[in-house]
């Protein structure tokens, strides 16, 4: 009996505990979810245990067996697939064949002279690039969706789901969110059932679609916060209505103030927060649109009756 | 690791073989909408006559909406024949009608209905709609989750069709209440780092049947361990044995193995107007 238990335990240890591996972060240029897929796939060679590209930071986290492969070798493979890395440039011919949405702003050649010929001095070029990489990142507008006429944009969201613990459940939500066309990347935190979402450029963001993704996966939204960039300051006050990036918004319970720069706003409509919290908010407002989520006579933006209106708070 | 060793030892010490369990009960939660799962269950018994018999059950599960799940399955076995052959088919539908979600907690309730066709003649007293007997069953499921612990109970009413066999000088029962109480606990990982981590769950289930038209019953205990790979594939290993009962059954214990792969969002949604 004991031997079988031992055997099982040993088998399990093999699943969970990996050999000692090296970890590193490599700057890799790219744009979208498609880039992420190609970058991660091209990085995965013999000896690479895991590769995860962070779209927002343009960084690839790699776990690899240093006895089998080097960071530079990994970069060679990524560059061969058309993506500039901190030490290497992708061949122009391969870059030219990338899909339209993957045509990222290339690494500025002025920041470093690193080319594949620099293989002899990867450490040095790495240093140069880390400082030099600021240039393309700062000019890279593709991180965020295109701004509206006022230059204001939604950049991403933090969704927390309730009703689950297991990884399989979290995976169901993650996959449902991945289906949404306006989402570029998702960083799940399985321990808190939360998902940090980055939006794609040139897309219309739908809060309802994100909420429905969670509900269709079989769970509930505990909170949905959206990150908005107010390039042009916006004045808010209690029950103020306005249109932001194509969405009708109603500020609830917020004191008069001016919003500018990066702000997190919380959606407090039905099914975006816990039921008891929704009931509490309901009690504090006389606006009928809060119950229905649809513009009504009570609303202060004319000509938009029966349109969806989201109720938000800071 | 010591805890795992302890649990592995605990569960395996009932009998040497391990088995899966999820074939026995469903939680009130349904499959995610527009998703599918393929499941294989194998049941292995040694009958009272000492013959080793097996049953293989493939199933296709579909999450039609966030609340409605259906599945169809078939079974192949040599339990009622000398050779392995197709013997039965089942249809199952489950509707989740109540959900109360909180952070890492939920209370859920669902209704289910099952229909089973079987080629087998009624030889035993228990009403097993997963291969042995043709019939219908309907019932209710209540599941509660508290972080790593989930409890679920099922109450169902089953009606068997082919019940004209005489066993122990009486006609086989045709109506029964099925009931179960199941507990599951997430043992590993202690802390999640990715969807690729292997998860380990342990289960303990009490499964009972009380026939209505004849006073017969059994109550079984079914422990199981479950590995989940890549957050989409389950491997269940379990054993089921009788704690008490007065029924003429094929066997008072069996081993189970189950493999279940979920395919998320494989059914395309209709384009929806985005406001």
Measured distance between the N- and C-terminal CA atoms of chain A, rounded to whole angstroms: 60
Of the candidates A183, A302, A203, A198, the residue with the CA atom closest to the CA atom of residue A243: A302
Using one digit for the tens of pLDDT, what is the confidence trace for B21-35?
A: 345 789 999 999 999
Give the model's pLDDT for residue B236: 94
Tokens matching residue A253: 């319970």
Tokens matching residue B259: 């493999």
Question: Which of B166, B177, B162 has the alpha carbon at shortest distance from B131?
Answer: B162
Contact A9 B5 (CB under 8 A): yes
Q: Which residues on chain B are in Cβ contact (under 8 Å) with A222?
A: 101-103
Put simply, the chain B residues between 214 and 273 with a CB less than 8 A from any chain A CB are: 227-229, 231-232, 234, 262, 264-265, 269, 272
Compare all CA atoms of chain B with the CA of A309 and give the residue at the minimum distance: B275
A202 touching chain B per CB within 8 A: no
Average pLDDT estimate for A175-194: 91
Higher pLDDT, A10 or A167: A167
pLDDT at A302: 67
Please give, rounded to a whole number of angstroms, the shortest distance from the CA of B124 to a CA of chain A: 33
- A247 beta partners: A244
Residue A73 pLDDT > 50: yes
Residue B143 has pLDDT above 80, yes or no: yes
The chain B residue lying nearest A165, using CA atoms, is B104
Within 10 angstroms of residue A110's Cβ, the number of other Cβ atoms is 8
Res A109: pLDDT: 59
% residues pLDDT > 70 (chain A)? 78
Neighbours of A292 (CB within 10 A): 14
pTM: 0.69
Measure A5 CA to nearest chain B CA, in Å: 5
Among A138-147, A260-269, A285-294, the minimum mean pLDDT is found in A138-147
Is residue B124 pLDDT above 80, yes or no?
yes
pLDDT of A3 > 70? The answer is no
Rounded to an integer, what distance in angstroms lies between the CA atom of residue A142 and that of residue A123? 29
- The whole-number average pLDDT for the span B210-237 is 93
Q: Which of B231, B237, B257 to mutate to test the interface with A (most CBs of A within 10 A)?
A: B231
- Whether the pLDDT of residue A113 is over 70: the answer is no
* Residue A85 DSSP one-character state: B
- pLDDT over 50 at B9, yes or no: no
Of B66, B186, B195, the CB nearest to A165: B186
Are B163 and B213 a contacting pair, CB within 8 Å? no
Mean pLDDT of chain A: 76
Structure confidence at residue B3 (pLDDT): 46
Distance between CA B69 and CA B93 in Å, rounded? 6
**How large is the ipTM?**
0.83
Q: Please tell me the least confidently modeled range out of A124-128, B85-89, B94-98, B208-212.
A: A124-128
The mean-pLDDT minimum among A91-105, B196-210, B233-247, B255-269 falls in A91-105
Return the top range by mean pLDDT from A18-27, A63-72, A260-269: A260-269
A-proximal residues of B, 40-99, CB under 8 Å: 65-66, 96, 99
Q: Which of A2, A171, A215 sits opposite B231 (nearest CB)?
A: A171
A176, B265: Cβ pair inside 8 Å?
yes
Take residue A186 and report the two structure tokens written for it. Answer: 């998702």
Q: Residue A107 in contact with residue A89, Cβ under 8 Å?
A: yes
Close Cβ partners of A144 (under 8 Å, ≥ 6 residues apart): A153, A155, A199, A201, A229
Structure confidence at residue A159 (pLDDT):
94
Residue among A16, A164, A176 whose CB faces B198 most closely: A16
DSSP codes, A280-294: HHHHH---HHHHHSB
Res. A20 pLDDT band, cuts 50 70 90: low
Are the Cβ atoms of A168 and B274 closer than 8 angstroms? no
Q: Does A14 touch chain B (CB under 8 A)?
A: no
Q: Has residue B10 got a pLDDT over 70? A: no
Cα B32 from Cα B103, distance rounded (Å): 19
Q: Which residues make beta-bridge pairs with A250? A: A241, A311
Q: Is B147 on the interface with A (CB under 8 A)?
A: yes
Residues B1, A191: C-beta atoms closer than 8 Å: no
* DSSP E strand boundaries for chain B: 35-46, 52-63, 68-77, 85-102, 105-118, 135-146, 149-160, 166-167, 170-171, 175-188, 199-211, 217-229, 233-245, 253-263
| Nearest residue in chain B measured CA to CA from A209 | B274
Question: Which is higher by pLDDT, A33 or B152?
Answer: B152
Tell me the average pLDDT across A27-34: 86
Residue A69 is predicted with a pLDDT of 82
């Amino acid at each position: 009996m004991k031997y079988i238990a031992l055997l099982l335990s040993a088998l399990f240890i093999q699943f969970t505990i990996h050999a000692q591996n090296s970890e590193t972060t490599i700057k890799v240029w790219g744009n979208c979810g498609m880039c992420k897929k190609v970058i991660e796939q091209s990085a995965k060679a013999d000896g690479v245990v895991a590769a995860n590209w962070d779209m927002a930071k343009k960084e690839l986290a790699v776990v690899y067996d240093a006895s089998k492969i080097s960071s530079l070798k990994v970069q060679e493979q990524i560059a061969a697939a058309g993506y500039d890395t901190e030490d290497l440039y992708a061949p122009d011919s391969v870059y030219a064949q990338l899909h339209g949405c993957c045509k990222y702003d290339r690494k500025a050649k002025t920041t470093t002279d690193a080319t594949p010929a620099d293989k002899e001095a990867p450490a040095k070029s790495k240093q140069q690039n880390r400082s030099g990489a600021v240039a393309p990142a700062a000019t890279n507008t593709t991180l965020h969706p295109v701004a509206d006429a006022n230059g204001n944009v939604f950049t991403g969201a933090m969704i927390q789901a309730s009703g689950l613990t297991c990884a399989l459940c979290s995976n169901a939500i993650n996959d449902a969110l991945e289906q949404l066309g306006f989402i570029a990347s998702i960083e799940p935190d399985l321990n808190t059932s939360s998902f940090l979402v980055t939006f794609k450029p040139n897309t219309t963001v739908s809060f309802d679609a994100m909420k429905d993704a969670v509900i269709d996966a079989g769970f509930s939204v505990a909170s949905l916060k959206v990150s908005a960039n107010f390039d042009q300051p916006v004045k808010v006050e209690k029950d103020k209505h306005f249109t932001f990036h194509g969405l009708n918004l109603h500020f609830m319970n917020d004191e008069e103030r001016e919003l500018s720069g990066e702000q997190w706003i919380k959606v407090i409509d039905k099914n975006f927060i816990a039921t008891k919290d929704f009931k509490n908010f309901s009690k504090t407002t006389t606006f009928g649109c809060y119950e229905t989520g649809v513009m009504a006579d009570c609303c202060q933006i004319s000509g938009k009756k029966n349109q969806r209106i989201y109720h938000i708070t800071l | 690791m010591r805890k795992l060793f302890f649990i592995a030892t605990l569960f395996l010490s009932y009998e040497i073989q391990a088995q899966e369990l999820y074939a026995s009960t469903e939680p009130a939660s349904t499959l995610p909408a527009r998703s599918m799962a393929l499941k294989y269950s194998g049941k292995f018994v040694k009958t009272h006559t000492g013959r080793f018999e097996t049953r293989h059950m493939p199933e296709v599960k579909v999450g039609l909406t966030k609340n409605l799940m259906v599945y169809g399955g078939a079974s192949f076995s040599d339990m009622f024949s000398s050779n392995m052959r197709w013997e039965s088919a089942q249809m199952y539908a489950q509707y989740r009608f109540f959900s109360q979600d909180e952070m890492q907690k939920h209370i859920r309730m669902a209704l289910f209905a099952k229909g089973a066709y079987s080629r087998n003649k009624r030889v035993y007293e228990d009403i097993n709609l997963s291969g042995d007997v043709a019939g219908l069953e309907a019932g209710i499921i209540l599941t509660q989750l508290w972080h790593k612990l989930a409890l679920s109970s099922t109450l169902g009413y089953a009606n068997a069709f082919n019940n004209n066999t005489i066993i122990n000088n009486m006609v086989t029962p045709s109506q029964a209440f099925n009931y179960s109480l199941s507990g599951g606990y997430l043992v590993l990982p202690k802390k999640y780092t990715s969807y690729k981590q292997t998860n380990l769950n342990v289960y303990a289930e009490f499964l009972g049947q009380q026939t209505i038209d004849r006073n017969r019953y059994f109550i079984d205990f079914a422990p199981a361990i479950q590995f989940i790979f890549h957050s989409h594939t389950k491997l269940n290993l379990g054993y089921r044995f009788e704690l008490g009962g007065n029924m003429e059954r094929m066997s008072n214990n069996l081993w189970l193995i189950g493999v279940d792969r979920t395919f998320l969002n494989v059914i395309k949604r209709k384009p929806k107007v985005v406001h």
